Chain A
Amino acid sequence: MDFILQPWPWYVAGPMITLVMFLLFYFGKKFGVSSNLETICAIGGAGKVVDFFNFDWRKNGWNLMFILGAVIGGFISYQWLTPDESVAINRQTFQDLTDLGFQNAGAQYLPDEIFSIENMFTVKGFLILIVAGMLVGFGSRYAGGCTSGHGIVGLSNLEIPSLIAVIGFFIGGLIMTWLLFPLIF
C-alpha cells in the first residue's frame, strides 16, 4: 500500500499508460482524449452553428465514459491515494519559478498563481485560463490529436504525422515557457 501512496516513478507510470492503450485496443477502440471536446460540443448543440458538429455523438459514447472515468479516477486519487500533494521538482525549477513570482513552487500539484479561486475571478487570471484552454482545444483539433492520440498512439504506430505534431507540441511549449512566461508572469 505504501508504494501506491508514494508518487509513482516514470518507469511504472509510462508502461501503465500503455496498458490503458492496450485495454482500449483490446476492446476495439483507440486511445485519444481530445476528440471528446468535439463530442461535448456536439451534445451542447454546436451543430446549429457549425455543420461539422451534426455527427451522431452516440458513437463516441464509450470515450465520454472513459473521460467520466478519468474524472472519477482523479477524485479517488485525491481522496484516498495522495496523502502528500507536494511535487519534488528540481531545485533550479523552484528557483526559476520563484524568480517569475511563483511562491512555494511544488508545494501542491498546481500553482495558486494560476489556479486559485481568487485568481480565477481576476481579468488576467480568467484570460490565462480561458486562452490556455482555447489553444489546447484549437491546436489539438487542428493537429487531429493531443498527447494521447499523437504522442502515445501515433508514435507507437511509428507515424510521421504524429512525430511532426509532437515536434510542434514542443515548439509551442518551449516558446510559451521560455519566451512568453517572462512577459505573462
Chain B
Amino acid sequence: MKYIKFLLIGILFGIILSKAEVISWYRIYEMFKFQSFHMYGVIGSAVAVGVVLVYLFKKGLIKTYLGNQIVIEPKKKGLARNLVGGTIFGLGWALAGACPGPMFILLGRGVAAIVIVIIGGLLGALLYHSVKSKLPH
C-alpha cells in the first residue's frame, strides 16, 4: 500500500494538533481576543522553521526521497480571491473554532456535532464552485 506513509504522517498531524490544543474552540476564541500567545506561538514558530526549510528545499540542499528538487506551485494572485475568500474563511474559523484539519481530528475524537460542520464544509466548497464564475478573483 503505497499511501501508508501518508496515513502515518496524518496520524502524527492529528496527535500534534490534539496535544497542542489547536483543535480546541477555546484556543481559537482566545487567539482572536488577543488574550494568549499560544496560537501565535504555534503558527509563528511553524512558519519560522518553515521559512528555513522551504529555503533549503528550493536551494536543492534537501531533496525528495527520489532525489528530485521540490517545486512549490505558487498560490494564485488576486486581491479579491485572497482577501474576500480569506475573510469568509476567518468568519467560519472563529465560529466553528476549527479549520479543515482540526475538523477531521475532532471527528476522530468522537465529536458528533463536527459531522454537521464537515457537511457544511463540503456544501461550502460545492457552492463556491457553483458560483465562482460570478465572483471577483
- Which residues from chain A sit less than 8 Å from chain B, CB to CB? 4, 7-30, 33-34, 36-38, 40-41, 44, 46, 49-50, 52-53, 61-63, 65-78, 81-82, 87, 89-90, 92-93, 96-97, 105-106, 109-111, 114-117, 119-120, 125-126, 128-162, 164-178, 180-181, 184
> Which residues on B sit within 8 Å (CB–CB) of A75?
14, 108-110
Chain A residues near B129 (CB-CB < 8 A): 38, 41, 46, 50, 52-53, 141
User: Is A173's CB under 8 angstroms from B21's CB?
Assistant: no
Q: Check B84 against A142 for contact (C-beta < 8 Å).
A: yes
A96–B34 Cα distance when bound, in Å, is 12
A140 CB → nearest B CB, Å: 5
Pairwise interchain contact B96-A73, C-beta atoms closer than 8 A: no
Q: Which residue of A lies closest to B58 (CB)?
A: A157
- Say how far A13's CB is from chain B's closest CB, in angstroms: 3
The interface residues of chain A lying within 8 Å CB-to-CB of B53 are 18, 21-22, 25, 156
Evaluate contact between B75 and A161: CB separation under 8 angstroms: yes
Q: Contact at B91–A49, with CB atoms within 8 Å?
A: no
Q: List 15 interface pairs A-B (beta carbons < 8 Å), by A numbering.
A: A19-B12, A21-B46, A41-B125, A53-B126, A68-B10, A74-B107, A97-B26, A105-B26, A136-B120, A137-B92, A139-B87, A143-B81, A143-B82, A153-B72, A156-B46
List B contacts of A92 (CB < 8 A). 33, 35
What DSSP secondary structure best describes chain B's contact surface? helix
Complex Cα gap A65–B11 (Å): 10
Query: Are A77 and B113 in contact, CB atoms less than 8 angstroms apart?
Result: no
Could you mark each residue 92-114 of chain B with 1 if its beta carbon is under 8 Å from any beta carbon of chain A, else 0? 11111111110111111111111
Q: Mark B36-47, 1 if CB is under 8 A from A, else 0.
A: 111111111111
Is A133 touching B42 in the complex (CB atoms < 8 A)? no
Question: What is the chain B residue whose CB lies nearest that of A66?
Answer: B10
Q: How many A-B residue pairs have CB under 8 A?
A: 506
Q: Is the beta-carbon distance between A67 and B10 smaller than 8 angstroms?
A: yes
Interface residues of B (CB under 8 A from A): 3-33, 35-51, 53-54, 57, 62, 64-66, 68, 70, 72-79, 81-101, 103-114, 116-130, 132, 135
A44 vs chain B, min Cβ distance (A): 7
- Contact check, B82 vs A71: say whether CB atoms are below 8 A apart: no
Interface-centre pick from A10, A116, A125, A131 (highest chain B CB count, 10 A): A10
Chain A minimum-CB-distance residue to B28: A173
- Do A139 and B18 form a contact, CB below 8 Å, given A70-B11, A70-B104, A89-B36? no
Evaluate contact between B65 and A134: CB separation under 8 angstroms.
Answer: no
Contact B26 A143 (CB under 8 A): no
Q: How far is the CA of A152 from the CA of B35 in the complex (A)?
A: 22
Given that A133-B92, A141-B129 are contacting pairs, would A156 and B54 also be in contact in the complex, using a CB cutoff of 8 Å?
yes
Residues of A within 8 A of B41 (CB): 9-11, 14
- Given that A28-B70, A74-B23 are known contacts, is A135 also in contact with B11, CB under 8 Å in the complex? no
> Is A172 touching B110 in the complex (CB atoms < 8 A)?
no
**Do B113 and A117 have beta carbons less than 8 Å apart?**
yes
